[in-house]
Copies of this chain bind each other. A is one copy, B any other.
């Protein structure tokens, strides 16, 4: 049963399991106590910190363990902001950061846009930095589409402006240290095959930092609460272990991902592979399928034994498409993210490629999606009422009638589904049609498309 969602949570690495079990025996006591069980726990904690620091490329006293990657981000952002309170509280982020970064940065943050591949331009970061900018944040690689960001160059422009850069390294730390002259770094163990319950926050020496939450004496006053030592020990041990395999696995998984990137558009019509084709994580690929409902697609793939995730609106609790796909301006319907865990076999990938076309066409058939655009040449403009209908129905209705207007004619789609705002323009790009624009309608929004081909 292939699990292809390592980017959500990687299966526990065997080394993590061993380390965790061993430290259940050796590391359950309070490391701040003076008796032998406490001293033993302290030794384990110190050793874990050294191992993690070495893998990150920092000093052990710059690194604290947190209960999760999300906590590392929240503590890092709030501490860095408070440390530079006198400068201001303006934050610069990319528009494709993980939600934990966006939540911590708050509503007043400046979002630096990304290109259609999901990558930021360092010049745009430089332009977004202001006199009152206290902090800039950038992921090392995107969690939804795998695009690697130019962290080293953004770190340079931040350094030149005297603004600290916090790097969310959650998706990439398994593959190697983050280069560049960054100031803070956050990561999460369960993304690299470590256990849940451990994240890490690095604050470089010299960075102004003022912890904002009620503190205690643990983790240098930067992360309160009893240390989760078994998780910490397992996190450090497994980071070291995955790094030992990283170079070889990166080559192997990159070949498998390349196979998916090349074959999916050949096997499945009307698919857009998204994310940067060059600057990307080795194990992750994302594509979107026109005229497909993401939730149904996930269920069907699950029935076939494949666990993947999706940024489609129907798979989110808010019924809005992923903010990452939105920022990239790419299709969000029928979205699938495949992220391969270490050890994924070529056979599993081949079986996925065998199953996918059948599953997609079954979903499309059920939704009545168009298979070919047969022009019947009707009036110069048409209005499609897709009110109350959810993704991908508005786009399917559009595609069904586009052939009914002459070249130069328009189709207006009335829709109150958030995903339509993203997917109708994306469909136009894929289909070489002209997206004229949107305007408010009596109910919902009117999306106007001009037929060009």
Contact = CB atoms under 8 A, between A and B. Distances in A.
A406 interface: no
A17 B188 CA distance: 23
Nearest to A72: B225
A182 to B, nearest CB: 21
Contact of A67 (B36, B190, B228): B228
Given A226-B68, A227-B196, A231-B196, A24 B36 contact: no
Contact of A103 (B21, B196, B214, B315): B214
Given A214-B104, A231-B196, A307-B33, A71 B225 contact: yes
| Residue from A20, A68, A103 having most chain B Cβ neighbours under 10 A | A68
A224 B217 CA distance: 22
A70 B9 contact: no
Interface stretch (A149-157, A295-303, A390-398): A295-303
Contact of A37 (B195, B225, B298, B307): B307
Contact of A216 (B3, B12, B99): B99
Given A20-B24, A71-B67, A197-B231, A35 B217 contact: no
B28 A12 contact: yes
Interface string A190-212: 10000111010000000000000
B5 A230 contact: no
Interface string A22-34: 0010001110011
A226 B308 contact: no
A229 interface: yes
A58 B243 CA distance: 45
A270 to B, nearest CB: 23
A429 interface: no
Contacts of A317: 217
Contact of A68 (B67, B298, B299): B67
A212 to B, nearest CB: 10
Interface string A377-390: 00000000000000
B35 A9 contact: no
A196 B99 CA distance: 26
Interface string A214-247: 1111000000111111110000000000000000
B230 A196 contact: yes
A197 B12 CA distance: 17
Interface in A48-98: 67-71, 74
Given A215-B103, A228-B196, A24 B17 contact: yes
A226 B196 contact: yes
A28 B226 contact: no
A278 interface: no
A33 B20 contact: no
Contacts of A104: 214
A309 interface: yes
B36 A1 contact: yes
Given A197-B231, A216-B99, A226-B188, A5 B33 contact: yes
A100 interface: yes
Contacts of A371: none
18 contacts: A5-B35, A5-B37, A20-B24, A28-B196, A33-B309, A34-B302, A35-B298, A67-B71, A70-B216, A74-B214, A100-B216, A100-B224, A100-B225, A103-B214, A103-B215, A190-B226, A196-B228, A228-B228
Given A196-B230, A228-B231, 6 more contacts: A5-B30, A24-B195, A35-B298, A67-B71, A70-B226, A188-B226
